[in-house]
């Protein structure tokens, strides 16, 4: 493994031995200066394409709704409690693909794609289980993890 994995804060071997499938690991500022790969407007425009998988998740009280793209009608940016997701951004943007390749130390069977989300205040995806491993990078905004 000749790639630079210093963002892990540990060697790959130590990360896999001590953390992988064992316990969460928070690495603050793993990619110094990390910025969103796409602007919000570019993200929304990309989602209008038929070959881009997107979802809109919204919560009204205790009720959750899910709408699948392409081009779901998005609520106003001033509305709360919604999240917009684009799956497989690495298939549509070279920078996203390069970012995903930074995680090539993970087994191929566990590294699927790069998903990006945009959420308004109170937005989220609701209680759920993932059947894959997740590396979360926060580009901007605030979120209680």
Q: Which residues of the chain form beta strands (DSSP E)?
A: 53-60, 63-68, 82-87, 116-119
- The answer on pLDDT for 145 being more than 80 is no
- The answer on pLDDT for 66 being more than 70 is yes
Per-residue model confidence as pLDDT tens digits over 126-137: 777 777 778 888
CATH architecture observed for domain 37-119: Sandwich (2.60)
DSSP assignment of 103-138, as one string? TTTS-GGG-----EEEE-TT----S---SS------
Domain boundaries, the chain: 37-119
Least confident of 32-36, 81-85, 98-102, 107-111: 107-111
Closest-CA residue to 20 (of 30, 33, 10): 10
């Amino acid at each position: 493994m000749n790639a630079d994995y210093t963002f892990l804060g540990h060697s790959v071997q130590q990360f896999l031995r001590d953390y992988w499938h064992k316990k969460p690991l928070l690495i603050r500022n793993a990619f110094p200066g990390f910025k969103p790969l796409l602007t919000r407007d570019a993200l929304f425009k990309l989602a209008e394409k038929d070959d881009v998988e997107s979802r809109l998740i919204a919560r009204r009280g205790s009720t959750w709704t899910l709408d699948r793209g392409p081009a779901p009608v998005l609520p106003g940016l001033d509305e709360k409690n919604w999240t917009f997701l684009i799956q497989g951004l690495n298939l549509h943007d070279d920078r996203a693909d390069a970012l995903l390749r930074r995680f090539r130390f993970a087994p191929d069977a566990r590294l699927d794609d790069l998903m990006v989300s945009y959420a308004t205040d109170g937005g989220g995806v609701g209680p759920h289980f993932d059947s894959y491993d997740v590396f979360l990078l926060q580009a901007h905004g605030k979120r209680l993890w």
